[in-house]
Amino acid sequence: MHIIRLITLLLLLSSLSLHAVDYSKKSEVKHFIHTMHKKFNYKEHYLNTLFKNVRKNPKVTQTRTRVKKIETEIKEEKKKISRPQGEWDIYSRMHLEHNQTEMGVNFMYKYRKVFEKAYEDYGVPPEYITAIIGIESYYGKNRGVYYVFDSLTHLAFDGGKRQKFYKHELQEFLRLCYREQLEPRAIKGSQSGAIGMAQFMPSNYKSLAVDFNKDGKIRLSKPADAIGSIANYFKENGWKRDEPVGTRVSYEGNRFYGFKTGYSYKYHRRDLKNIRPREYFPYKKKIMLIKLKKENYDELWYGAHNFYVITRYNHSAYYAMAVHQLAQKIKKSYLSKYITPKEKKLYLVSK
């Protein structure tokens, strides 16, 4: 096994020698290698070989990303018609259009048995896991167009922001590759090092990723492991089974300034005068006020505890709202397309 991995590494390196940078001579990298050897018993020769041939450009060549495609489509649409340009208008177009709902319904149906088990084990409804996978990797079609080892090396040792953070992620990435017997130079992900359908950062693997299909390996490129790992991520961050995420509310006027908004501020509903849910919302705990800035008005929502849990995946209220709205669209379409009246009593209709 070790001989095969070494041959694979040498083949990769030989094809990259003209487009590589020797990082092994940097003092910070030497210290990093020494630390990996002392703390985790990594072979210094192996690490030196890796860092001698870091790709100058970690982006995978000849790859057209989904984001670039969507940006082009949006530009073409703007030429044809005028569309609202508020912050939320733009953000929601990026994450809630372009067949996200239909593809999500098909994905959820295809892996419905896995989702049922994830709900049973962790209490997270399938539509929210599906929405995360849709937004993070377009249901597995775009898992990232950067070589993770090279990208993390640049971020950790090129003098940019958050070097300490990226050194830790590089450390955990190498440990992940050792545990799972993966070739570090071959793994692709996001520019910041997120990997797989769930786009986990390397530091999240050991504590939050799970071998949900019980094949002895954790592969977030596999739907079952991605689904189980996202469910576990939510549960470990406090997801409450069968509790709601949020609901839209009404208020007076077009722009909202009455209370501080965002997931850092919580209120008793009785204290929010003239703010009322647009539909029945049987949630008695404190809530957050989430403001979505549209071109001509502010859209206001109650956010429950589970809304906050979604922000632990990505610390953006807009991200959490995109996940929630996409999840609700997927659930509505899924129920209409696949579920019988008898089956509607099951977990998929839980709020």
Considering the domain boundaries, does residue 159 fall inside one? yes
Considering the domain boundaries, does residue 27 fall inside one? yes
Considering the domain boundaries, does residue 26 fall inside one? yes
- Name the nearest CA neighbour of 218 among 234, 204, 239: 204
For 187, the domain range is 2-56+145-195
- pLDDT bucket at 61, cuts 50 / 70 / 90: confident
- pLDDT bucket at 7, cuts 50 / 70 / 90: low
Q: What is the pLDDT of residue 345?
A: 52
Query: Per-residue pLDDT for 203 more than 70?
Result: yes
Return the higher-pLDDT residue of 176 and 70.
176
Using the structure block, give the residue that is written with the tokens 């209370």.
Answer: 259
Rounded Cα distance, 166 and 9, in Å = 23
Q: What is the pLDDT of residue 160?
A: 80
Q: Indicate which CATH number applies to the domain containing 26.
A: 1.10.8.350
Number of helical H runs and strand E runs in the chain = 14, 9
Rounded Cα distance, 29 and 35, in Å = 10
- pLDDT bucket at 84, cuts 50 / 70 / 90: confident
pTM for the full predicted model = 0.87
Q: Active-site positions?
A: 136
Considering the domain boundaries, does residue 257 fall inside one? no
Query: Per-residue pLDDT for 351 more than 50?
Result: no
Q: pLDDT (tens digit, 9 = 90+) per residue, 221-243? A: 999 999 999 999 999 999 999 99
Number of domains the chain is built from: 1
Considering the domain boundaries, does residue 65 fall inside one? no
Considering the domain boundaries, does residue 99 fall inside one? no
- pLDDT bucket at 64, cuts 50 / 70 / 90: low
Stated length of the chain: 351
Considering the domain boundaries, does residue 113 fall inside one? no
